[in-house]
Chain A
Amino acid sequence: MARGFASPLWTKNGFAVARANVPDVPVSDFRKLCVEICSQDGRLAALCTLPARRQDPEEKPEILAVLADDARGSVGLLATRVPDNRRYPALSTELPQAQAFERELFEDHGIRPDGHPWLKPLRRHADLETRPGSGGEGAPAHPFFRVEGSSIHEVAVGPVHAGIIEPGHFRFQCSGETVHHLEIQLGYQHRGAEALLLKSSPARRLAVAESIAGDTSVGHALAYCAAIEALAGVEVPLYAHAMRGIALELERLSNHVGDLGALCNDIGYLPGASWFGRLRGEFLNLLMELSGNRFGRSLVKPGGVRFGISSEQRRNFLARLARAERDLRDTAQLTFNSPTVGSRFEHTGVVTREAAEALGLVGPVARASGCDRDVRRDHSFGIFRFVHIPVALVDSGDVMARALVRWLEIQRSKTFVREQLNELPQESLSVDIPRLAPESLAVSMVEGWRGEIVHVAVTSADGQLASYKIVDPSFHNWFGLTIALRGNQISDFPLCNKSFNLSYAGHDL
C-alpha cells in the first residue's frame, strides 16, 4: 500500500505501541486517509479522542482513528488535532460507518463534524429537549426524521416495551403497513461506564467491563484483559487462553441458541421457542459449572483465568455437551424444515452486502449479508491464533440468513469446545500483571457473539490509564436494523429486531 503522503501506524490486535509513534497528521490528510483506506480493504473500528500528550504546548483535542484491515490482519492507528474552533469536515459524508462515532465526538467533546447529515445526540437526552433558539416555542432541538404526506402516519414505541427487554425509542414513518423509515433513539441505558472504569480500582474495572453488556460478560472481560495484558507486556499461559476460548464459545452458544428460540417465538413456532429456550440454559449451566456464574463472570481476569477444569468435570462436560448436541440437532432440523418458518424468515428484513459494507456492520449480521469478516480469523487473538474456527457465511441478508449464520456458528463452536476439552494443556492458570507501560496505546479486539468488540486503552506518563474507549458491536449494527426495516411491514419489526438482537446497554455504555 504505497501512499504519497503520511500513512497510519500499522500494528496488530492486542499489541501495545508507544503513543509517540502514532502519526499525528493534519485534519485534511486524516480525512483523506481514512476515506481512502475504508474504500479499499479497511473499516473504521473506532473513532475516539485521545488524552492530552505530556508537555503538550497546544491544547487542541486529538482524535484517533482505529482502522481495521481484515485481509492483512492489521490495525492502523492515525491521529489528528482538531483546529482551535473544534470543527473539522465530517467523515460521515463519504464514510457512512463514521456517523455514530462522529455524533459521539460532538456530544461528548463538543467537536463538531461539519456537514454531518444527522448530528443528533446519541445518549444525552437533555440535549434533545427544547432549547432557546432551536426554532419556535416548544419545538424540540432535534426532532425525529419525518416523512411528509397525507397518507403517512407515525408510530412511536418505547422506551418501556411490552416484555422483559431493555429500553429504547422507535419512531416509524409508515403508509399503511409499510415502513418507509425507522429512527431509533437510544441512550436510556447510559450509565457512564467508560468514565467510571477510568476512576475505578482494578477489581472494579473488571466488574464494570463484565457489566457493559450482561450477555457478553466474557467477551468484554476478555477485551479488557487483553488491553491490560498488552500494556503490561505479559503473555498469558496457553491453558488460560484455552479456558478463555471455551468460555467465549459457550457464551456464543448460549446466545445464538437463545436467539433461535426467540426468533421461533416471534413467529409463533412454539416447539422451537420452548426447546431452543431450554437448550440455551444448558450452555449457561455449563458456563456456571466452569465459573460459578451462568454468565461466566469472574472466570477471566487480567493475566489469565481464575478457574481451571478437572478431568472429572471434563468428562461430565463432554457428556452434557453430547446430549445438548443431539437435542439441538433435532430442534434445528424441525425448525429449518418447517414451511411456516421459511415463509416468515425468507425475504424479510433484507440488508444488502453494499449496505452492510457501507455501514460497517460486524458479526453474524454482517456475515449474513455476505461480508466475510470475523475477528477470530482476521485479527486472531488468544487461542484462536492456534486453532481456527471456519467463518460462517450466508449471502441473502434476510432473517433466514441471520438465523442460518447462527446455526452454523453453533455447530462450529460446539466442535471447538469439544476439541479444546480433549486437548487442554496442563499449565498454570495465570501470571501476575506488572506496571503498565507509560504513554502507550493498545487496541484489543474480540469476536463476541454479536461481533467485533473493540477496547482502546491509553496510559499516561506514570503508567495509569488515561483514557478508555469501548465499542460494542451493537454500536455499528443498530443502524443496520433501520435499513433492514425499510419497505417491510411494521408487523415484522419484532422479528427483524430479534434477528439482530442488539444490546442497548452495550450501545449506551
Chain B
Amino acid sequence: MFDLLKARLRQGHQTTKFRNESGQLPARFRGRPVLDESKCPEACRACADACPTLAIAIEPLRIDLGACLFCTECQEACPEGTIVYTPDHRLAARSRADLVVSGSEAKLATALDQNMRRLFGRSLKLRQVSAGDCSGCAAELTATGNLVFDLGRFGIQFVASPRHADGIVVTGPVTTNMEYALRETYAAVPAPKIVIAVGACAISGGPFAGAEASHGGVPADIPVDLYIPGCPPHPLTILDGLLRLLGRIDDGRRRV
C-alpha cells in the first residue's frame, strides 16, 4: 500500500488539461493540410497521381479529408510546396462536403440542434461497432478514455449494449460479413440517436475503398451526424469532434 502511494506521488497528476488550440502536437504530426493553389504549375497533377486513395482533385485543387490517409505522398510529390500538412488536429465535420478542403479555411463541425443538445449535451453514451477496422481507430477511441485524455470528465462514455446507447461510433470500411451486425446494432439503439463515422475507412473506405469484401464506409442509408477523419484520428481529434457536436467548443474555446 505504501509503495503504491509512493509510486502515485512520484508519477503525479497525468490528465492533460483540455486545451483545444493547434500546436500542442509535435512538428511532424500530420493534421489539417493547407493548400496554396496559386503555386500550382499549369496542368500539373503530381499530387493527385501520388495519392494512394485518390483523395485529391485538381482545378480547383482540393483534398477530401474523408479519404485522406495523411501519409504526405502528395506533399512529397509536389514540386512547388503547394500542400503543407500542419500539426492542427482539428478535423471533424458535420457533412461529407465539409470534409473537402481547398485553400486554408476549415469547415469544422457545428453543434447538434438545441433539442438534441438538451438530451445529449451533458451525458452521451456511445456504442462502438468495429466493421472491418484494422483496430487503429478502435485503439484511439479506447485511448480517449485513458487517464491522459479522460473522456469521462465530459460526460461521454462508451457502453456495452446498444440499448443503453444514444448513438453508435462506426470504424472500418464495413465488411460484407459485418453489415448485418452493424444494422442490427443501429436498430437496437433507441431514437433519437446519432451516428459517428471515425477514420478514413468508415467515411470513404480509406485504404480499403474498392476491396472486394467491403463497402467503402457506412452505408448511405444510415445517416451520419459526425465525420472524424484520420488514419487513425488522434485522440485529440476525436475529443474535438465530439465536443463540437455537443456544442461545447466554440472557436477553439471550450464552453462547459
Smallest CB gap from B138: residue in A: A164
Given A191-B208, A278-B146, A297-B231, is A203 in contact with B52 using a C-beta cutoff of 8 Å? yes
- Contact residue among B73, B146, B213 (Cβ-Cβ distance under 8 Å from A191): B213
Q: Which residues of A contact B70 (CB under 8 A)?
A: 292-293, 298
User: Does B185 lie within 8 Å of A160, measured CB to CB?
Assistant: yes
User: Does B140 lie within 8 Å of A201, measured CB to CB?
Assistant: no
User: Does A214 lie within 8 Å of B143, measured CB to CB?
Assistant: no
- Contact residue among B14, B26, B212 (Cβ-Cβ distance under 8 Å from A192): B212
User: Does B177 lie within 8 Å of A278, measured CB to CB?
Assistant: no
User: Does B181 lie within 8 Å of A214, measured CB to CB?
Assistant: no
A344 within 8 A of B: no
Q: Mark B172-190, 1 if CB is under 8 A from A, else 0.
A: 1101111001001100000
User: Does A214 lie within 8 Å of B212, measured CB to CB?
Assistant: no
- Chain B: number of interface residues, binned into ranges: 35 or more
How many A-B contacts if CB must be within 8 Å? Answer: 185
**Cα–Cα, bound, A446→B11 (Å):** 35
Q: Which residues of A contact B50 (CB under 8 A)?
A: 203
Q: Which residues 174-225 of A sit at the B interface, judged by CB distance below 8 A?
A: 187-193, 195-196, 200-201, 203-204, 206-208, 210-215, 217
Q: Mark B195-211, 1 if CB is under 8 A from A, else 0.
A: 00000010000111011
B25 within 8 A of A: yes
User: Does A288 lie within 8 Å of B29, measured CB to CB?
Assistant: yes
Given A164-B138, A164-B141, is A191 in contact with B30 using a C-beta cutoff of 8 Å? no
- Chain A: number of interface residues, binned into ranges: 35 or more
**Cα–Cα, bound, A187→B14 (Å):** 39
Q: Which of B98-106, B117-125, B128-136, B220-228 sits within the interface?
A: B128-136
User: Does B28 lie within 8 Å of A307, measured CB to CB?
Assistant: yes
User: Does A217 lie within 8 Å of B136, measured CB to CB?
Assistant: yes
User: Does B135 lie within 8 Å of A193, measured CB to CB?
Assistant: no
User: Does A503 lie within 8 Å of B132, measured CB to CB?
Assistant: no
Smallest CB gap from A193: residue in B: B211
Smallest CB gap from B135: residue in A: A214
A1 within 8 A of B: no
User: Does B52 lie within 8 Å of A191, measured CB to CB?
Assistant: no
Q: Which residues of B contact A214 (CB under 8 A)?
A: 133-139, 232
**Cα–Cα, bound, A134→B213 (Å):** 25
Q: Which residues of A contact B10 (CB under 8 A)?
A: 326-327, 330
Starting from the known contacts A271-B7, A290-B28, A504-B130, 16 additional A-B residue pairs (CB-CB under 8 Å) come to A123-B177, A159-B181, A189-B177, A196-B211, A200-B52, A206-B71, A208-B207, A211-B206, A215-B135, A215-B139, A281-B148, A288-B28, A291-B28, A292-B30, A298-B71, A508-B175
B residues at A contact (CB < 8 Å): 3-4, 7-8, 10-11, 14, 25-26, 28-30, 50-53, 69-73, 76, 85, 128-143, 146-148, 158, 160-162, 172-173, 175-178, 181, 184-185, 201, 206-208, 210-214, 231-232, 234
26 A-B pairs within 8 Å (CB atoms) are namely: A160-B162, A163-B160, A164-B138, A166-B133, A166-B135, A166-B138, A167-B131, A167-B178, A188-B132, A191-B213, A192-B213, A196-B210, A207-B52, A208-B207, A214-B133, A215-B135, A271-B4, A271-B7, A288-B25, A292-B26, A295-B136, A297-B71, A298-B30, A307-B28, A327-B11, A330-B10
